[in-house]
């Protein structure tokens, strides 16, 4: 039931309060803006901005920040000042290696639309000054040649497939006939296509540590190649990011469904090829890995607590939660009750997960319960996960979120999840395997940046856990993702 404003705001009645929206710097400004934040003359990494404040990052021990302290603040963009005034420290959020400091402006405000306009204007000037020739010159020849090979490959087969599709249709071909044609083309092109992508990855490795060259190479790829792939459903969704981030629930559904999708045979073939990328294939095999882990943990809890027990599972960044519906379909029924808490930042993803899981639960009259929790990834990382009481979950898993979280924050979140584990419980945290011999595809075609970690780097994500925790790092069967498996052998929390 909707409450009146009076009930929400007490004696203030209908007074309306406006809090300016905060925006991450990379979402507001172009790659070339080069924002620089000076606090009392010292430079700090800028984190986010709003019209009346901003936040920045600082290393432990560099400075002590007291709430209410007045500071001198200057913000530059494209090496030119866009704001200079005073501010006060409003909040300090400590982290394992540093703090995030939020400040409120005391003079003036940050006119974000005007700042974005200035950024766009500078970008235009730089583009006109540098020109296509200047961008071309920044991109290494070996990389340009590889992009040209891929461009020719795509255009050659677009022309060929379009021609034969028109021919078959004119001869009365059915949808089934065209699907058989697409299947034949897919089988012929799959390996040559990915061999080119592996070669492009090798070429890109030469400059991944040089930001200026990397930006130029990405802009070059997005200029000459990406537009030719946007009629491919998978490429379109990944690159345009309608929900604001790559790898959303629809991408996961594409991977799971493994179907020919698109408005032409060309689009269908290259969509189907795309969902066989090693990382995409790994999404399916890691799902099966989680189903097996879930069954083992369920059996453990049943053996330990008997037929009347509750088996509690939490999924962080659940997406469509295909592993849960698959688990129910596979096992169908069991003694006691299974309770899944599905957590994601997208309501639509939760809706899809709920329907799919409820369908299987209803089909088999399974003794199961679903709880849905809508949390943004930033909330999960910064504030933890508000799941019942501590030590309440028998199994916690997260398959994709940690591909985007830096080590220090990942360690903090893993500790928060560990605190939610019941004694004897297990946690499985997935991360893309590094080094990766085909990262060019997501990075350059999809503008989809992930943190690929080695086995040792994945193991380090558990460095803040108690010594009593049993930790192992394993690869899922597709060998595209590592999993940090953590068993809680002693009651208590990380802190």
Are residues 35 and 80 located together in one domain of the fold?
yes
Specify if 3 maps to a domain.
no
- Contact status, residue 346 vs residue 367, Cβ threshold 8 Å: no
Are residues 332 and 418 located together in one domain of the fold?
yes
pLDDT of residue 383: 61
Give the end of a domain, one of 100, 130, 160: 130
**477: containing domain:** 280-487
Specify if 492 maps to a domain.
no
pLDDT of residue 14: 34
pLDDT of residue 45: 87
pLDDT of residue 25: 75
Are residues 307 and 184 located together in one domain of the fold?
no
Are residues 305 and 453 located together in one domain of the fold?
yes
What's 460's domain CATH number?
3.40.50.150
Query: What b/e sequence results for 282-315 when a residue is b if at least 16 CB atoms lie within 10 Å of its CB, and e otherwise?
Result: bbbebbbbbbebbeebbebbbeeeeeebebbbbb
The string of DSSP letters for 72-115 reads EEEEEETTEEEEEEEEEEEEEEE-SSEEEEEEEESSS---HHHH
Specify if 2 maps to a domain.
no
Are residues 145 and 102 located together in one domain of the fold?
no
Are residues 323 and 464 located together in one domain of the fold?
yes
Residue 487 CA to residue 162 CA, distance in Å, equals: 54
- Contact status, residue 29 vs residue 77, Cβ threshold 8 Å: yes
Residue 104 CA to residue 474 CA, distance in Å, equals: 46
Strand segments, DSSP code E, in 95-191 are 98-105
Are residues 269 and 295 located together in one domain of the fold?
no
Are residues 252 and 298 located together in one domain of the fold?
no
Give the end of a domain, one of 80, 104, 130: 130
Specify if 115 maps to a domain.
yes
pLDDT in tens, the chain (495 residues): 333 223 333 333 333 444 556 777 777 888 778 889 999 888 988 888 888 999 888 876 556 788 999 999 999 988 889 999 999 999 888 765 567 899 999 998 888 888 889 888 888 887 787 778 888 999 999 999 999 999 999 999 999 999 999 999 999 999 999 999 999 999 999 999 999 999 999 999 999 999 999 999 999 999 999 999 999 999 999 999 988 788 899 999 999 999 999 999 999 999 999 999 999 999 999 999 999 999 999 999 999 999 999 999 999 999 999 999 999 999 999 999 999 999 998 889 999 999 999 999 999 999 999 999 988 766 666 666 666 678 899 999 999 899 999 898 899 899 989 999 999 999 999 999 998 899 999 999 999 999 999 999 999 999 999 999 999 999 999 999 999 999 999 998 886
Which structure tokens are listed for 192? 């040559």
Strand segments, DSSP code E, in 95-250 are 98-105
- Alpha-carbon distance values, 398 to 58, 99, 254, 319, 451 (Å): 29, 25, 19, 10, 15
Which structure tokens are listed for 135? 């961008």
Are residues 153 and 73 located together in one domain of the fold?
no
Specify if 225 maps to a domain.
yes
Specify if 495 maps to a domain.
no
Specify if 5 maps to a domain.
no
**What is the rounded average pLDDT for all residues in the chain?**
89
Number of structural domains the chain divides into: 3
Give the end of a domain, one of 253, 276, 299: 276
pLDDT of residue 384: 61
Are residues 213 and 79 located together in one domain of the fold?
no
Are residues 349 and 286 located together in one domain of the fold?
yes
pLDDT of residue 237: 96
What's 89's domain CATH number?
2.40.10.430
What pTM did the predictor assign? 0.80
Are residues 295 and 152 located together in one domain of the fold?
no
Residue 63 CA to residue 322 CA, distance in Å, equals: 47
């Amino acid at each position: 039931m909707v409450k009146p404003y009076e009930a929400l705001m007490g004696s203030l009645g209908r007074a309306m309060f406006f809090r300016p929206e905060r925006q991450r710097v990379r979402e507001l400004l172009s790659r070339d803006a080069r924002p620089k934040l000076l606090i009392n003359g010292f430079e700090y990494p800028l984190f986010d901005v709003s019209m009346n404040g901003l936040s920045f990052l600082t290393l432990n021990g560099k400075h002590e920040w007291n709430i209410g302290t007045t500071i001198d603040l200057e913000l530059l963009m494209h090496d030119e000042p866009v704001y200079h005034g005073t501010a006060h420290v409003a909040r300090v959020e400590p982290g394992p290696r540093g703090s995030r400091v939020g400040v409120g402006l005391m003079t003036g405000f940050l006119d974000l639309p005007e700042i974005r306009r200035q950024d766009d204007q500078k970008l235009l000037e730089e583009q006109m000054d540098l020109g296509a020739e200047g961008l071309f010159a920044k991109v290494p020849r070996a990389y340009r040649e590889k992009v040209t090979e891929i461009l020719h490959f795509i255009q050659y087969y677009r022309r060929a497939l379009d021609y034969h599709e028109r021919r078959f249709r004119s001869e009365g071909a059915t949808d089934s006939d065209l699907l058989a044609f697409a299947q034949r083309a897919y089988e012929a092109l799959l390996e040559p296509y990915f061999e080119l992508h592996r070669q492009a990855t090798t070429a890109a490795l030469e400059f991944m540590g040089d930001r200026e060259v990397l930006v130029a190479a990405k802009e070059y790829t997005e200029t000459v190649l990406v537009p030719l792939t946007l009629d491919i459903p998978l490429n379109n969704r990944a690159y345009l990011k309608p929900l604001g981030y790559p790898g959303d629930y629809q991408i996961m559904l594409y991977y799971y469904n493994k179907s020919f999708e698109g408005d032409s045979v060309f689009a269908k073939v290259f969509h189907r090829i795309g969902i066989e990328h090693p990382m995409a294939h790994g999404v399916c095999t890691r799902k099966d890995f989680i189903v097996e882990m879930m069954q083992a943990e369920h059996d453990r809890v049943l053996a330990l607590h008997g037929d009347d027990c509750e088996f509690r599972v939490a999924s962080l960044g659940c997406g469509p939660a295909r592993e849960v519906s698959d688990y129910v379909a596979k096992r169908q029924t069991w003694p006691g009750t299974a309770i899944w808490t599905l957590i994601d930042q997208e309501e639509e993803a939760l809706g899809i997960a709920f329907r799919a899981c409820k369908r299987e639960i209803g089909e088999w009259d399974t003794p199961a319960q679903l709880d849905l929790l809508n949390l943004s990834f930033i909330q999960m990382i910064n504030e933890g996960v508000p799941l019942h009481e501590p030590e309440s979950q028998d199994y916690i898993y997260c398959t994709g979120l940690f591909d985007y979280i830096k080590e220090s924050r990942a360690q903090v979140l893993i500790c928060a999840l560990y605190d939610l584990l019941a004694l004897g419980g297990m946690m499985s945290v997935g991360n893309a395997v590094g080094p990766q011999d085909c990262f060019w595809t997501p990075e350059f075609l999809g503008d989809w940046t992930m943190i690929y970690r080695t086995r040792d780097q994945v193991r380090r994500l558990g460095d803040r856990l108690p010594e009593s925790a049993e930790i192992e790092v394993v690869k899922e069967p597709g060998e595209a993702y590592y999993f940090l498996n953590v068993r809680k052998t002693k009651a208590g929390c990380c802190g």
